[in-house]
Chain A
Amino acid sequence: MKNWPLWEIFVRSKAGLSHKHFGSLHAADEAMAIENARDVYCRRNEGVSIWVVKSEHITASDPADADPLFEPAKDKVYRHPTFYVLPDEVGHM
């Protein structure tokens, strides 16, 4: 399999939903990756559309840096609707 690159497979399970990561597989090229993804991940109507991306093209954030990376969002309570106190008679807003 060394000559067959690894591909990440994303499947849209039905119109209106976004593509979701389903897993990965080896294939010689993108056309074969799509066919293999159909056979491996969509044998029971799991999808209406498939994206394949070479794994080497994905850049991921480092889990070890997760704290500093996401820290800026942690203390911003004012970004949430519940931060704003309104009288009950306003009802749902």
Chain B
Amino acid sequence: MIEKLEQQFQAKIDAEVKIEPKDWMPEKYRKTLIRQISQHAHSEVVGMLPEGNWITRAPSLRRKIALVAKVQDEAGHGLYLYSAAETLGAERDDLLDQLHTGKAKYSSIFNYPATTWADMGAIGWLVDGAAIMNQVMLTRASYGPYARAMVRICKEESFHQRQGYEILLTLCRGTEIQKQMAQDSLNRWWWPSLMMFGPNDAESTHSAQSMAWKIKRKSNDELRQAFVDATVPQAKILGITIPDPDLKWNEERGHYDFGEIDWAEFWNVVKGNGPCNRQRIEDRKKAYEKGAWVRDAAVAYAEKREQRKAASKAKVA
């Protein structure tokens, strides 16, 4: 029986029919999706922290409103994704708990600090740029609510990347010191951005099943290569240098070759030992705990209004 259901399920996916919340699905598909979608949601939410750090120090009102709008978008992205995970039966509180206790991961890139204003440029350009590669692929994911959330997210992301690139462009056309600041930022964010695509295909554990289920449609290495190919010409326009001596155009492949990623660093940050892991989780927990009274007050207010409505109805009757 279950085998037959599984075959029908796979046949649907092979025929590009979307899976919707109430449809039958293998338990493992459900679990894998909850894990992937909630970790994606956590990444959006934790991703607000490095940028939030610079809102009060933005160099102009124009930069400030753009940054506020971007950070607000990321909060929205988190919400779309938590909602998508909830359609699979996950509880929001459980998901948040998993983030706060370290049971669930989020993108490791957000465990690096944003130490200069130029980092607001590099994050928009590179980090959002890398996220876009992944998210464009996910607009075609087999699970309907996830794919639809991705369509909304992708519409908003291009503003993020453009505002970041514009920040760097302005610095690169400024004084020598400003240009150096942009270069320093690229030096620090380049490699962690490449790591965002995850381990090399040969090392990637979940990939084959996720590909068959079409909750992933391109391999880590394919996406990483597409990102490098798109980004190198953009760095040239900025006039800053990507910190990789092995980076060069490969005529035969029609792609850029690039150097080996420091996987020891990658795994170290994944395991919790990056520069900001502890601080990020602390900040999220603090925000959640400090917001408890707001959540309680909203419930109390809603109850009071409900009672008043009932009372005035009773009077009329």
The answer to whether A and B assemble together is yes
A71 within 8 A of partner (CB): no
Expressed in whole angstroms, the minimum distance between the Cβ of B73 and any Cβ of chain A is 7
Q: Please give me the residue from chain B that is nearest to A6 by CB atom.
A: B86
Check A39 against B76 for contact (C-beta < 8 Å): yes
What mask results when residues 40 to 64 of chain A are scored 1 for a CB within 8 Å of chain B, else 0?
1001100000000000000010111
Q: Which residues of A lie under 8 Å from residue B278 when comparing CB positions? A: none
Check A3 against B305 for contact (C-beta < 8 Å): no
Check B76 against A28 for contact (C-beta < 8 Å): no
Check B22 against A62 for contact (C-beta < 8 Å): yes
Q: Which residues of B lie under 8 Å from residue A26 when comparing CB positions? A: 92
What mask results when residues 97 to 130 of chain B are scored 1 for a CB within 8 Å of chain A, else 0?
0000000000000000000000000000000000
Check B22 against A63 for contact (C-beta < 8 Å): yes
Count of inter-chain pairs, beta carbons less than 8 A: 55
Q: Which of B55-63, B186-194, B294-302 contacts the other chain?
A: B294-302
What mask results when residues 17 to 47 of chain B are scored 1 for a CB within 8 Å of chain A, else 0?
0001011100000000000000000000000
Expressed in whole angstroms, the minimum distance between the Cβ of A36 and any Cβ of chain B is 8
Expressed in whole angstroms, the minimum distance between the Cβ of B162 and any Cβ of chain A is 15
A1 within 8 A of partner (CB): yes
Query: For this complex, into which size category does the number of interface residues on chain B fall?
Result: 20 to 34
Tell me, in angstroms, the Cα distance from A13 to B313 when the chains sit together: 34
Q: Which residues of A lie under 8 Å from residue B301 when comparing CB positions? A: 28-29
Q: Which residues of A lie under 8 Å from residue B20 when comparing CB positions? A: 63
Q: Which residues of B lie under 8 Å from residue A44 when comparing CB positions? A: 156
Q: Which residues of B lie under 8 Å from residue A40 when comparing CB positions? A: 76, 79-80
Q: Which residues of B lie under 8 Å from residue A64 when comparing CB positions? A: 24
Tell me, in angstroms, the Cα distance from A25 to B92 when the chains sit together: 10
Residue of B69, B80, B145, B306 most packed against chain A (CB within 10 A) = B80
What mask results when residues 281 to 317 of chain B are scored 1 for a CB within 8 Å of chain A, else 0?
0000000000000010011011001100000000000
Q: Please give me the residue from chain A that is nearest to B298 by CB atom.
A: A28
Q: Which residues of A lie under 8 Å from residue B6 when comparing CB positions? A: none
Q: Which residues of A lie under 8 Å from residue B149 when comparing CB positions? A: 23
B139 within 8 A of partner (CB): no
Tell me, in angstroms, the Cα distance from A73 to B171 when the chains sit together: 64
A-B contact pairs, 29 of them (CB 8 A): A1-B92, A1-B295, A3-B295, A3-B299, A4-B298, A4-B299, A23-B80, A23-B83, A23-B145, A23-B152, A24-B86, A27-B298, A28-B295, A28-B298, A28-B299, A28-B301, A29-B301, A32-B298, A39-B72, A39-B76, A40-B76, A40-B80, A43-B69, A43-B73, A44-B156, A60-B22, A62-B22, A63-B22, A64-B24
List 8 tightest A-B contacts by C-beta distance, closest first. A29-B302, A28-B298, A1-B92, A28-B302, A3-B299, A63-B23, A24-B83, A63-B22
Q: Which residues of B contact A (CB under 8 A)?
A: 20, 22-24, 69, 72-73, 76, 79-80, 83, 86-87, 91-93, 96, 145, 148-149, 152, 156, 295, 298-299, 301-302, 305-306
Q: Beyond A1-B92, A4-B298, A29-B305, list 6 extra A-B contacts (CB 8 Å).
A: A3-B299, A25-B79, A32-B302, A39-B72, A40-B76, A62-B22
